Structure 1
Amino acid sequence: MTDRKKKNSIKDDVLFLVLKIVVFLALIAIMLFFVFGIFRCGDNMMSPAFKDGDLAIYYRLQKEFQPLDVVVIEKDGETQIRRVVAKSGDSVEITEDGLKINGYLQQETEIYTETLPYTEGIAFPITLGENEYFVLGDNRSNAKDSRIYGAVKKEEIKGTVITLLRHRGV
């Protein structure tokens, strides 16, 4: 009788362990698919902050974005990482002098290239409507960003980047 109780006890323990593992994996899947996202950077338009091959982990539930936030966007069927430089109600102008937000020339300490307008892009100045954001790549001389396709709608922003996993030749 005691052998049978031990076998049932072991069987119950194994089933309980399997149940715990299944619940844990389900929670991880929910977190990855609904709360967080992972995006592999496929270009150098955000260099040196993000480089080709880097993995960005982003938070999907944030709904308000501020200038300097780095976001993952879905624009024209293409997923990109870009930096928010202006939000709803702001006026953006890019001249030979650089980036002006609401008439003030921006001093961006983390940007190492000049911010100049593109000849084939949108016309400036532009005033952002409700739930619109102006995004730029950090590599300003080589980025496909709001200078080309205009303002990004809130619905096109997938989330805010919270961390970066640097690709090191793997």
Structure 2
Amino acid sequence: MKQGLGKGYLRLFVRAAVFLLVLYLVFTRVLFLGRVTGMEMYPSLKDGDLALGYRLEREYRTGDVIVYEAGGALHFGRVAVKEEENTDEETLSVQQDYQTDPEDSTDGDEVSRKQVRGRIITILRRRGL
């Protein structure tokens, strides 16, 4: 009776370890979970929102919201490709939604594809948490 109970606990431990390993791999290699700080993407993304992103995306379209690293911090931006299309395959033209000056809305920041951490697939709004 005791050996059957010990095997049951061992199976439970192995299953829990495999589950935690899969969860760890999914959230470090496939998905991205990050907290939005600042107002650079307001009203699309608000300060404190949680953003779930997909790390394996390689093809970005106009309007995709991406997260990228610049200056040691994570930033969120929208891919903004003009009509003439971006001829440089190594960089993306990125704009923030929150524009204080309408004149600046045509200029986008150039972001290297190596800086991009992923494409945002959904956001989780904070509601007084």
Does TM, normalized by the shorter one, top 0.5? yes
Task: Tell me the equivalent position of 1:54.
Answer: 49
Task: Tell me the equivalent position of 1:73.
Answer: 68
C-alpha separation in 2, matches of 1:40 and 1:80: 10
* Aligned residues of 1:128 and 1:134 also touching (Cα < 8 A): no
* Aligned residues of 1:82 and 1:136 also touching (Cα < 8 A): yes
TM-score by length of 1: 0.68
C-alpha separation in 2, matches of 1:80 and 1:31: 22
C-alpha separation in 2, matches of 1:60 and 1:131: 17
TM-score by length of 2: 0.88
What SS is found at the alignment partner of 2:23?
helix
* Aligned residues of 1:134 and 1:146 also touching (Cα < 8 A): no
C-alpha separation in 1, matches of 2:106 and 2:18: 42
Which whole-Å deviations, capped at 9, do the CAs of 1:144-170 have from their partners, x for residues lacking one? Answer: x9947x311111110000110101111
From 137, 148, 153, the equivalent of 2:96 is: 137
Task: Tell me the equivalent position of 1:38.
Answer: 33
1:162 corresponds to 2:112: no
Task: Tell me the equivalent position of 1:9.
Answer: 4
C-alpha separation in 2, matches of 1:82 and 1:146: 14
Give the gaps of 5 or more residues in structure 1. 1-5, 87-100, 104-126
Give the gaps of 5 or more residues in structure 2. none
Q: What's the Cα RMSD here? A: 2.0
Aligned partner of 1:22: which letter? A
Pairs aligned (count): 125
Q: What is the identity percentage for the equivalent residue pairs of Structure 1 and Structure 2?
A: 30
Deviation at 1:49, TM superposition (A): 1.1
- Structure 1 runs (4+) deviating above 4 angstroms are 145-148
Aligned partner of 2:124: which letter? L
